[in-house]
Amino acid sequence: MRENLHRFFRAARGAGVHVSPAESIDAMRAVAQVGISDRAVLRDALLLTLAKSQDEKLALGDCFDLFFSQPEPRQDQTEANSGENAAQDPDQSPSSGSASEAGESQPPEGLGPLAQMLLSQDRNAVAAAIAGASGAASLSDIRYSTQRGIFSSRILDAMGLQRLRDDLDALTATNPALAERLRAALDALREAVRDTVSQGLALYAREEAENLRNEILRNAPLARIERRQVAEMRVLIRQIARRLRERYSKPRKRQRRGHLDVRRTLRRNAAWGGIPFLTAWKRKHRDRPKIVALCDVSGSVAQVSDFFLLLIHSLHEVVDDVRSFAFSSHMIEVSEILEKKSPEEAMAEIMSKVGFGSSDYGSSLVDFEKDFMSTLTPRTTVIVLGDARSNNLDPRADILRRISERSKRLVWLNPEGRLAWGFGDSEMPRYATFCTVVRQCATAQQLERAVSDIVATYQ
């Protein structure tokens, strides 16, 4: 049962349930207390010890039902029909029928264990043998649908398929009727093994398939995401935001290693004659982070603006002092919307106010200089997310220069490829002159790296 639980924890992780080593130990202790005889009690014990949210509870319940549902070999319909016909045949004498049943109920001696198991029609024994052979064949290592045949063959070989074939050859020559029964039982066994492999694929390959799908999405251009992939990309962006929160929102521990501060150490230990009972370490002073984010939500970047806003929403949870602004042809502050509302509600409200318009960077920068320039200090990092396309209007690069002079850093994240910068109505080369960092963020992976690097500078 311990091995089964380990495999179940692996399947639960593939279903999206985070199972830490400590939680798996707690679950195994709970199972040791309640036992495994009552399936409903076992299910409740695992859900109580592993699920941490309603979504995880639902996912874990489905995973449990799938994991502990063992496929059974199907009865051969032809054999069942022939048995019914024989029972209803008035010409057959009771004595002959009884003799036939008695002969068929006990498999002949000399057959292998698998042949005897199939002929005796012991479903519990067959199911247990399939489960044991699945463990011996490492079914939990299955990852792709193309491996179905390989694992099916491994399970059958572990159950003794070769000996069964020898028994079939021997019975074909001596007892054709019994050989036909055994051949039909073997077909049913193959089908049960295929069901077991399909079950294993659904349990253990889900995580690998999801990781592969996420890796493809992480490197897919945000501007060319298909409609059917938008929901998956939003889930991926939320995962990125969660990683940022977990990585950077934890309080920093006091440093207890590095370069010794001799003067402070001597001063602190003056009462003990200079003997360094208490040490003091040199530490690098870091300014408290302050971020101002300017997000383009115009029609030219409408497909990626949702993802930009999701990342900005995560910044409000990671960094204490964040001011956020959105613009198309004019600029508004959206900090309060992002702080007080869920990502979906915040994005819908922001896009309804300033989204999908014609981009005018010059007019938006004028709005910022007029109403929000006071938010900038020498400790501020300004992040601009946009394609720098101003529809051939005045780009007002002079205002961007003044923003750069008043702030600590000016970072521009552009969703377009570098080959498109400077062509058409793109003002990126002119704006890049006043930026500390200019990075392409055409994919979710590039966007995560850029935001992670910005936040990491303050840790």
CB 93 within 8 A of CB 202: no
**C-alpha span between 299 and 337 (Å, rounded):** 21
Taking the C-alpha atoms of residue 267 and residue 278, their distance in angstroms, rounded to an integer, is 10
Amino acid at 106: Q
164-168: long-range pairs with CB below 8 Å, 24+: 164/112, 164/114, 164/115, 164/118, 166/112, 167/111, 167/112, 167/115, 168/115
Q: What is the DSSP letter of 293?
A: E
Neighbours of 338 (CB within 10 A): 26
- Within 8 A by CB and 6+ apart from 210, the residues are 14, 16
> What would the DSSP string read from start to end of 220-250?
SBGGG--GGGHHHHHHHHHHHHHHHHHHHSS
- pLDDT, residue 267, reads 85
Q: Is 231 exposed, middle or buried (0-12, 13-18, 19+ CB in 10 A)?
A: exposed
421 touches 388 (CB < 8 A)? yes
SS3 411: strand
3-state secondary structure 8-45: HHHHHHHCCCCCCHHHHHHHHHHHHHHCCCCHHHHHHH
Backbone angles phi, psi at 320, to 5 degrees: -70, -45
Tokens for 105, please give them: 């109920």
Three-state SS at 152: helix
- Relative to beta strand 321-327, strand 331-333 is antiparallel
- The pLDDT, as a whole number, for residue 364 is 95
331 bridge partner residues: 327
pLDDT of 89 reads 46
pLDDT value, residue 77: 40
pLDDT of 289 = 66
- Which fold would CATH assign to domain 290-456? Rossmann fold (3.40.50)
pLDDT of residue 90: 42
Q: What is the pLDDT along the chain (459 residues), one digit of tens a residue?
A: 777 788 788 788 777 788 888 888 998 999 889 988 888 898 898 988 998 888 788 888 888 887 877 544 444 443 444 444 444 444 444 433 433 443 444 667 778 888 888 888 888 888 888 888 888 888 878 877 888 899 999 999 999 999 989 888 888 888 888 989 999 999 999 999 998 888 888 777 776 667 777 777 888 887 777 777 777 777 777 777 777 666 665 454 444 556 788 888 888 888 887 787 788 887 765 556 688 999 999 988 877 887 888 778 777 776 778 899 999 999 999 999 988 888 788 888 999 999 888 999 999 999 999 999 999 999 899 999 999 999 999 999 999 999 999 999 999 999 988 889 999 999 999 999 999 999 998 888 888 888 778 777 655
Provide the residue type at 230 as one letter: V
Per-residue model confidence (pLDDT) at position 284? 64
| Alpha-carbon gap, residue 324 to 295, rounded angstroms | 8
CA 24-30-36 angle, to 5 degrees, is 105
Enumerate the H helices of 68-143 as residue ranges: 77-88, 94-105, 113-120, 123-136
pLDDT of residue 74: 45
Residues for the chain: how many in total? Answer: 459
Q: Which ranges of 249-388 does DSSP label H, i.e. alpha helix?
A: 262-268, 302-318, 335-340, 343-354, 361-371
